[in-house]
Amino acid sequence: MKIAFFYPERGYLGTGNRSIWGGRFYYSLGVLAGVIKKQGHSVSIKGGVKTFTMMELSASVKREKPDLIGISALSHQSGSVRNMVGKLRSLAPGVPLVFGGIHCTIDPEDALLDSGADFVVCGEGEKPLTELLSTIESGKSPAGIPGVWRKQGTSITPALPAELVSDLDDLPFADLETAHFMESDDYRIFHRFPILAARGCPHSCDFCCNSAWQSLYGPGHYRFRSPEHVCDELQSVAVIYKDLEYIQFQNDVFFPNLQWLERFVKLYRQVNLPLSVLLSLDMINKDSAQLLAELPLREVFVGIEHGGLDRTGKSGGEDFAKSVCERTRILRDLGIRLATFNMLGIPGGTAGDIYDSLLLNTHAAPAMVQVSYLYPYRKTAVYDRFSGLRAPLSYPTYFEGTVFRRKHVERHLRFYFVNYVRLLELMISIAEKKDRLARILFRGLFWPLPLSLKRILLRIVSAKVQIERKVFRIRF
Ligand code: B12
Ligand code: SF4
pLDDT in tens, 275-297: 999 998 889 999 999 999 999 99
Residue nearest to atom 2 of ligand 2 (CA): 252
pLDDT in tens, 419-430: 999 999 999 999
Count of other CB atoms within 10 angstroms of residue 381: 16
For residue 476, pLDDT beyond 80: no
State the Cα–Cα distance between residues 195 and 191, nearest whole angstrom: 13
How many whole angstroms from 348 Cα to the centroid of ligand 2?
Answer: 21
Pocket of ligand 1, beta carbon within 6 A:
9, 24, 26-28, 32, 70-72, 74-76, 98, 100-103, 105-106, 121, 124-126, 129, 196, 199, 208-210, 213, 250, 252, 372, 377, 476
Q: Residue 379: name the closest of 122, 159, 166 by CA.
A: 122
Q: State the closest ligand 1 atom to the C-alpha of 165, by its place in the atom list counted from 1.
A: 53
pLDDT of residue 15: 44
State the Cα–Cα distance between residues 442 and 425, nearest whole angstrom: 12
DSSP-derived letter for residue 467 is P
For residue 473, pLDDT beyond 60: yes
Mutate to test the pocket of ligand 2, among 204, 209, 210 (most ligand atoms within 8 A of CB): 210
Residue nearest to atom 24 of ligand 1 (CA): 28
Asked if 467 contacts 433 with a C-beta cutoff of 8 angstroms, the reply is no
Q: State the closest ligand 2 atom to the C-alpha of 278, by its place in the atom list counted from 1.
A: 2
For residue 210, pLDDT beyond 60: yes
Model confidence at 376, pLDDT cuts 50, 70, 90, reads confident
pLDDT in tens, 80-126: 898 899 999 999 999 999 999 999 999 999 999 999 999 999 999 99
For 457, list phi and psi in degrees, rounded to 5: -60, -40
pLDDT greater at residue 343 or residue 198: 198
pLDDT of residue 205: 83
Domains and CATH numbers, the chain: 2-157 (3.40.50.280)
pLDDT in tens, 121-134: 999 999 999 999 99
Rg (CA), the chain: 24
Count of other CB atoms within 10 angstroms of residue 311: 18
Q: Residue 208: name the closest of 375, 371, 413 by CA.
A: 375
Among the bound ligands, name the one nearest to the CA of residue 278.
Answer: 2
Q: What is the mean pLDDT of the chain?
A: 88
Mutate to test the pocket of ligand 1, among 21, 26, 74 (most ligand atoms within 8 A of CB): 74
How many whole angstroms from 39 Cα to the centroid of ligand 2?
Answer: 33
Pocket of ligand 2, beta carbon within 6 A:
201, 203-205, 208, 210, 252, 280, 311
pLDDT in tens, 153-180: 889 999 999 999 999 999 999 999 999 9
For residue 17, pLDDT beyond 50: no
pLDDT of residue 344: 81
Mutate to test the pocket of ligand 1, among 28, 35, 201, 404 (most ligand atoms within 8 A of CB): 28
Strand partners, 97: 69
Strand partners, 249: 195
pLDDT of residue 53: 83
In 67-175, at which residue ranges do the beta strands (DSSP E only) sit?
68-72, 97-100, 119-121, 148-152, 155-157
State the Cα–Cα distance between residues 371 and 181, nearest whole angstrom: 26
pLDDT in tens, 53-85: 888 899 999 999 999 999 999 888 888 898 899
Percent of the chain with pLDDT over 70: 89
Among the bound ligands, name the one nearest to the CA of residue 21.
Answer: 1
User: Which residues, 6 or more positions from 409, have their beta carbon under 8 angstroms from its beta carbon?
Assistant: 403
Per-position DSSP letters for 454-466, written without gaps between them: HHHHHHHHHHHSP
pLDDT of residue 373: 77
